[in-house]
Structure 1
Amino acid sequence: MTADIRAFEEAIGLNRIAPSRYSTYLSTQLFCQSVFDPRLSVSRVIAEIEALECTDRKSATKPAALFNRLPLKGLWHKHYIQNGISSMAINLRHAINKFGLPKFEQKVKDLGASGEERYLEASDIDEIVYEAVLGNYGRRYEAGQMTGEWMVYAIHEGQNYYLCLGTHKSGDDALRQQIDLICVPEFPFLKEILVSVT
């Protein structure tokens, strides 16, 4: 299995992008989830790592953020977009809340100013749906505000060390236990970064 994971790391470019700066836990998660979880797009995770490593590569997701609460305080996280309808729906909901439907709202405003009374027609519905879905998704993507699940990493001596994948349901305590168990022995400097939870 170890040879398979090493070949996988090579195939996805992880060892090229962040040589010796990713945990065996992360590479094992990527390997296993790429086989068993269709929501995970390894290429999207790798794209976000590349964006963190190469300042000229643009990320479609929110900027990286420092965890400010225990038990992950001192570590960073960066979102990556998942495959699937639920990820798309969350991003669309956020986009509609932020951007609204500006073309439709302007059309209603113009009609109100003209005094013209008009009902919605099928072509209006098509325009509204297009703006709500494709227009808003595109706006959020271009603004670099997409959300999703996240990867956890540490910054040490100006370099990023990629530790694991996390989800909004995985629980920070469980993540911290795995980091302590697997990542700290690989990267002993984490003891200095991580805040004690005891």
Structure 2
Amino acid sequence: MPIFNKSYKITHKGVDLHIGSDDLEAFAKFYFRGLPVLERCTEKFILDLYVYAHTSGLNPLVVLDEIKSLEVPNEFTRTKPATMFTRLPLKGIWHKHFFSSHFLGQNMQIAQGGGRLETSIGQVLEKYEGIENTDENWKAVAKELTQETMALFHQRKERSCLTGEWIIFIKHEGNNYYMSISFHANDDISIYDDVLTSCQQDFPHLTEIVKNYAIRTA
């Protein structure tokens, strides 16, 4: 378990947080009970989860469910499989998506891309071509268009292709070490710097391993 001995003043999404070491420790013990991975989590990872839970309405259990899927063989997940970054500077570091309702719009946009939405709309309009111009008929059209739109999302969900934000972690000697939570908008260098800083603070033996990933995974 991380040694919580720091306090933080953080402003995120207009919310000011004053986080003490006791706050982080209590948060970690409450949410990670029954999931024996705390000794492989950095303080940065716990802090990220705390901040997003208290400023963005993120349910920490959403993230922990994805961690469980990484730790337990054949555990079900509706998001994409974990993958390793292949480009510098993140080459060799892993990430796993997690999903919550906050990311519904993003997934709808992806699901409807590539002309899929236009095709579905066209099929519905063709089906109702020439109908009488009444309120009831157009309500029926609108209802079916909504159903087709949601069907694209559910198809993506059933294929376990939902996307969200990232759990950043390292694989070493058969174990996962959880470094941070990152957003797609974060640039690669800042993510890499967070990983290195987290290693130096909590897992010094992983620092040189991360620095040498580009060579070892070439």
Q: TM-score, normalised by structure 1?
A: 0.82
Aligned-pair distance for 1:96? 2.1
Given the alignment, which residue of 25, 46, 67 partners 1:27? 46
**Which residue in 2 is equivalent to 1:170?**
186
1:121 corresponds to 2:146: no
**In the TM superposition, what whole-angstrom CA distance separates every residue of 1:54-79 from its partner, at most 9, and x where no partner exists?**
12321111111101112211110011
**Structure 2 spans left out of the alignment, 5+ residues:** 1-19, 132-136
Contact conserved, 1:74 with 1:194, CA < 8 A, in 2?
A: no
Q: Is the 8 A contact 1:96 1:132 kept in 2?
A: yes
Q: Percent identity?
A: 26
Distance 2:41 2:194 in 1: 14
Aligned to 2:112: 96
Paired position in structure 1 for 2:164? 148
| Structure 1 residue 169: Cα displacement | 1.6
Residue 79 of structure 1 aligns with which residue?
97
Distance in structure 2 (CA, Å) of the matches to 1:26 and 1:178: 10
Partner of 1:161: 177
Q: Which string of whole-angstrom CA distances, capped at 9 and with x for unpartnered residues, describes residues 37-89 of structure 1?
A: 23x331211111111111232111111110111221111001111443xx212
Q: Which amino acid aligns with 1:55?
A: P
Contact 1:150–1:166 at 8 Å: present in 2 too? yes
Return closer, same or farther for 1:79/1:90 CA change in 2, 3 Å cut-off. Answer: same
Shift of 1:103: 7.2
Specify which of 1, 9, 13 is matched with residue 32 of structure 2.
Answer: 13
Question: Cα RMSD (Å) of the superposition?
Answer: 2.6
> Contact 1:21/1:161 (CA < 8 Å) preserved in 2?
yes
Residue pair 1:78, 1:150 contacting (<8 A) in 2 also: yes
Question: Map of 1:31-42 to 2, 5 A cutoff?
Answer: 31-38=50-57, 40-42=58-60
Gaps of 5+ in 1: none
- Are 1:71 and 1:195, in contact at CA under 8 Å, matched by a contact in 2? no
Give aligned pairs, total. 188
Letter paired with 2:209:
E
In 2, the alpha carbon distance for the partners of 1:181 and 1:14 equals 26
1:2 aligns with one of 9, 21, 41: 21
